[in-house]
Amino acid sequence: MSVLRMRGVTRIHGEGDGAVTALSGIDFTVEPGELVAVMGPSGSGKSTLLNLAGGIDHPTEGSVEVEGTDLASLTKSRLAVVRRNHVGFVFQDYNLIPSLTVLENVSLPLELDGKRVSAAREEAMHALVEVGVHHQADKFPEEVSGGQAQRAAIARALIGPRRLILADEPTGALDTTTGMDILETIQSRCKDGAAGIMVTHDARAAGWADRILFLRDGTIVDSSDPLPSVDSLLEDFTL
Ligand SMILES: Nc1ncnc2c1ncn2[C@@H]1O[C@H](COP(=O)(O)OP(=O)(O)OP(=O)(O)O)[C@@H](O)[C@H]1O
């Protein structure tokens, strides 16, 4: 079963004269084990696609299924549970809760699912070790650097049984080496059976993906294997 399936998805923001078609007629699936990069110019619909995949936003037309469940069929509370159990989201602004420590932020999704606090914190600490910010576990988000916050956000997205990993510019605030480590972590999670979608402007980051989806003006204009040459695919793209 596909981890994500979008069928005929159109998203129009706003109404009347101010309406903007952010996505139009998108058909797209991501299978277990796949990491897909989404690229395209500013305003081409990349974030909208990610938000629809994660159930944060809803299509104007068409359907979005996560592991076979049509998100539109769910009540608000059920959608929240599906999001927590199935979808790991790395937001561009990290979205860490300021009043919780780094460890508490990462542990929260598990605690919300009823896991014992001690077990949840232990798992969260493992996740922080994996992304190399365990020394910041007891600090609050405002006390850590942007790169550390981003890595904590990635730990939170990967924790638990989530099988759909959605990342908006996951390496944006990171130096090259750390960025590559994080991509390796996401890729290895996908190799273990999850599915990942990452929005990126960075061709090197996209090189970690199994394929690249190119968006322009809300439609898929190309979908390609990134190798052997990402650069050749980018030639006529103004990014
Ligand atoms: N809430 C909204 N209300 C109105 N228009 C919106 C809204 N969100 C996005 N849009 C518009 O939809 C289009 C697609 O936006 P989106 O943010 O998905 O693009 P993007 O490719 O992620 O851009 P960027 O690379 O700059 O983040 C743009 O024209 C944008 O202005």
Distance 239 CA to ligand 1 centre (A): 15
CB 200 within 8 A of CB 226: no
Distance 22 CA to ligand 1 centre (A): 6
Tens of pLDDT, residues 110-166: 998 889 999 999 999 999 998 889 999 999 999 998 888 888 998 998 888 889 999
**What span, in angstroms and rounded, lies between the C-alpha atoms of 131 and 204?**
19
pLDDT of residue 220: 92
pLDDT at position 234 over 60: no
pLDDT at position 229 over 80: no
Q: Who's near 21: CB < 8 A, 6+ residues apart?
A: 10, 11, 12, 218
Distance 46 CA to ligand 1 centre (A): 8
φ/ψ region of 164 (left if φ > 0, alpha if ψ in -120 to 50, else beta) reads: beta
**What span, in angstroms and rounded, lies between the C-alpha atoms of 123 and 119?**
6
pLDDT at position 232 over 60: no
- The length of the chain, given as a count of residues: 239
Three-state DSSP class for residue 109:
helix
Q: Which 8-state DSSP code applies to residue 210?
A: S
pLDDT of residue 108: 92
pTM: 0.86
